[in-house]
């Protein structure tokens, strides 16, 4: 029998260095959210299973992490539990066996919160939420079973200002993180609906979306093959062909799209909305350099009804999207509150981390730890050295003293490994003269200075 502990599939530990880097990402995003007027919200890790099922499609339901009820071993529950188990084995949910599940995303819990607090909330309601979510997916590159989402959503307004602000937030966040090469892909569900109408393929919406969403991944020919396989007529595919060959500036592509869906009223409406959004984003200071209209962007989540967003980084092995979102007209409808429109964006911190790691984008400050290590010479001297430690900290300097009076070699190599830039040596000589030895561990130079001078130097070098 092995006693070696292991992690559950698809989960990870984050050590001190990784935590510093992750915190840097989260803080950057949080600051952007707050700057745009979003307020924080946290919801429980657990939700009632009935809140989550049916919101993510059949595939999504399969990926929920369900929690086994307690008390199943109680003899008086036994019959119920066995009956429930029989149901679950047949793929049905049964609250006598599982009535809770881990949250799958942040949007549905948010919708639940809005419905439960509809009378207290002032609309439009802008909230951000940064918490882990869980999916019972098979892990692979950029996919984990536990990962963080950073969501910002606005509910209670149809204004396209929100969409424009989302574009600005994406630009600010990725700009501040130093990710320069990325694309914000933009599309509109109504344009896609218009497309379905225009080619006369009503009733095959989802088949169409799934197929054309793969265009940049598998190419035109394979998409056409897949469409044929899914039973689209040659005529319909013929009508789609301009979609595969879209080129030019965002504006030009939008104009082309407008022609393609000209026979459809909803399609037209979608194109117009995107045009308005882009203009608004521009007047908010967006260069639109990173924004691209992508008629083949579909996104899986079934609740989107308007604009949809997806962000991908370039020049990196991480090809999956690092951010995504869109407008949903009726998310709270399933909880009995119809007519509340919302739009939101979600940042995938774990993938952003992978991209930044891959491109080496973490600034040195983002991992800053202790600034100065006090060398521990001798137990006898500690009463005189400890006050120095306190004094450094009172000035806001990140300082620590090596806890044991071991060999200096060991203490210095500890500082070296922890990437501490300075070591402060206070031994008998220093205490006699009042001039302490400050060593810069990067350059190797060492100076005798008064405590005031040391504090000044450390404060200047932060």
Partner RNA sequence: GUGAUUGUAGUUCAGUUGGUUAGAAUGCCUGAUUGUGGUUCAGGAGGUCGCGGGUUCGAGUCCCGUCUUUCACCCCA
Q: From the list 34, 262, 413, 447, which residue makes contact with RNA (rule: CB under 7 A)?
A: 413
CA separation for the pair 369, 371 (Å, rounded): 6
Nearest Cα to 290, choosing from 204, 378, 167? Answer: 167
Closest CB to RNA among residues 30, 312: 312
Q: Are 189 and 308 in contact (CB under 8 A)?
A: yes
CA separation for the pair 292, 339 (Å, rounded): 30
Q: From the list 156, 267, 324, 342, which residue makes contact with RNA (rule: CB under 7 A)?
A: 324
Closest distance to RNA from the beta carbon of 410 (Å): 6
Closest distance to RNA from the beta carbon of 248 (Å): 26
Encoded tokens for 201: 């393929």
Q: Are 262 and 252 in contact (CB under 8 A)?
A: no
Does the protein bind RNA through residue 333 (CB under 7 A)?
no
Q: Are 103 and 43 in contact (CB under 8 A)?
A: yes
Applying CB under 7 A, the span of 8-16, 245-253, 266-274, 330-338 interacting with RNA comes to 8-16
Residues of this chain, 257-316, that bind RNA according to CB under 7 A: 299-301, 310
Closest CB to RNA among residues 142, 159: 142
What angle (nearest 5°) sits at the alpha carbon of residue 439, between those of residues 433 and 443? 145
Q: How far is it between the farthest Cα atoms of the chain?
A: 95
Applying CB under 7 A, the span of 33-41, 88-96, 121-129, 417-425 interacting with RNA comes to 417-425
Does the protein bind RNA through residue 190 (CB under 7 A)?
no
The radius of gyration of the chain from alpha carbons, rounded to an integer in Å, stands at 28
Applying CB under 7 A, the span of 37-45, 87-95, 133-141, 365-373 interacting with RNA comes to 133-141
Applying CB under 7 A, the span of 80-88, 191-199, 383-391, 433-441 interacting with RNA comes to 433-441
Does the protein bind RNA through residue 105 (CB under 7 A)?
yes
- Catalogue the long-range contacts made by 387-395 (C-beta closer than 8 Å, 24 or more residues apart): 388/424, 388/426, 388/436, 388/451, 391/451, 391/455, 392/455, 392/458, 395/455, 395/458, 395/459
State the binding string over 373-412 for RNA (x if CB under 7 A, else -): ----------------------------------xxxx-x
Closest CB to RNA among residues 379, 442: 442
Closest CB to RNA among residues 287, 443: 443
Applying CB under 7 A, the site for RNA has a residue count of 63
State the binding string over 53-92 for RNA (x if CB under 7 A, else -): ----x-xx--x-----------------------------
- Catalogue the long-range contacts made by 92-99 (C-beta closer than 8 Å, 24 or more residues apart): 93/49, 93/53, 93/66, 95/49, 95/50, 96/69, 97/68, 97/69, 97/72, 98/49, 98/66, 98/67, 98/68, 98/69, 99/48, 99/49, 99/50, 99/69
Q: From the list 139, 175, 178, 333, which residue makes contact with RNA (rule: CB under 7 A)?
A: 139
Q: Give the phi and the psi of residue 400 in degrees, each rounded to 5.
A: -145, 155
Applying CB under 7 A, the span of 193-201, 230-238, 277-285, 436-444 interacting with RNA comes to 436-444
Q: From the list 19, 89, 210, 386, which residue makes contact with RNA (rule: CB under 7 A)?
A: 210
CA separation for the pair 100, 53 (Å, rounded): 10
Q: Which residues bind RNA (CB under 7 A)?
A: 1-2, 4, 6-10, 57, 59-60, 63, 105, 135, 137-145, 147, 149, 210, 214, 217, 299-301, 310, 320-324, 346, 348, 350-351, 407-410, 412-413, 415-417, 423, 425, 427-430, 437, 439, 441-444, 446
């Amino acid at each position: 029998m092995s006693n070696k502990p292991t992690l559950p599939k698809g989960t990870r530990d984050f050590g001190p260095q990784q935590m510093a880097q992750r915190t840097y990402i989260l803080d950057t995003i949080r600051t952007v959210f707050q700057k745009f007027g979003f307020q924080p919200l946290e919801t429980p890790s657990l939700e009632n299973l009935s809140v989550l099922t049916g919101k993510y499609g059949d595939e999504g339901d399969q990926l929920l992490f369900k929690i086994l009820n307690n008390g199943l071993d109680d003899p008086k529950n036994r019959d119920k539990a066995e009956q429930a188990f029989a149901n679950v084995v047949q793929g049905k949910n049964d609250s006598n066996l599982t009535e809770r599940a881990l949250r799958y995303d942040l949007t549905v819990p948010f919708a639940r919160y809005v419905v439960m607090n509809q009378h207290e909330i002032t609309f439009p309601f802008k909230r951000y939420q940064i918490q882990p979510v869980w999916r019972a997916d098979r892990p692979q590159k950029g996919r984990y079973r536990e990962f963080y989402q950073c969501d910002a959503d606005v509910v209670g307004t149809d204004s396209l200002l929100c969409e424009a602000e989302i574009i600005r937030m994406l630009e600010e966040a990725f700009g501040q993180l130093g990710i320069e090469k990325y694309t914000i892909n933009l599309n509109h569900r109504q344009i896609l609906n218009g497309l379905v109408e225009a080619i006369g393929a009503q009733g095959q919406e989802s088949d169409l979306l799934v197929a054309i969403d793969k265009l940049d991944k598998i190419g035109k020919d394979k998409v056409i093959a897949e469409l044929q396989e899914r039973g689209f007529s040659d005529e319909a595919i013929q009508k789609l062909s301009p979609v595969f060959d879209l080129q030019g500036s965002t504006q030009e592509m939008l104009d082309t799209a407008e022609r393609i869906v000209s026979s459809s009223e909803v399609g037209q409406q979608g194109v117009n909305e995107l045009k308005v959004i882009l203009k608004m984003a521009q007047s908010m200071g967006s260069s639109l350099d990173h924004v691209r209209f992508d008629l083949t962007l579909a996104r899986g989540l079934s609740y989107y009804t308007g604009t949809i967003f997806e962000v991908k980084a370039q020049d990196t092995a991480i090809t999956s999207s690092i951010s995504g979102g869109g407008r949903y007209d009726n998310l709270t409808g399933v909880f009995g509150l119809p007519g509340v429109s919302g739009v939101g964006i979600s940042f995938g911190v774990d993938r952003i981390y992978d991209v930044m790691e891959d491109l080496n984008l973490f600034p040195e400050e983002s991992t800053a730890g202790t600034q100065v290590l006090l060398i521990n010479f001798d137990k006898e001297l500690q009463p005189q050295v400890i006050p120095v430690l306190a004094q450094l900290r009172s000035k806001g300097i990140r300082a620590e003293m090596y806890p044991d009076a071991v060999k200096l070699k060991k203490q210095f190599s500890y500082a070296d490994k922890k990437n501490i830039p300075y070591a402060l040596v206070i031994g008998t000589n220093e205490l006699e003269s009042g001039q302490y030895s400050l060593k810069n561990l990067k350059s190797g130079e060492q100076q005798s200075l008064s405590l005031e001078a040391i504090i000044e130097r450390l404060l200047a070098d932060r």
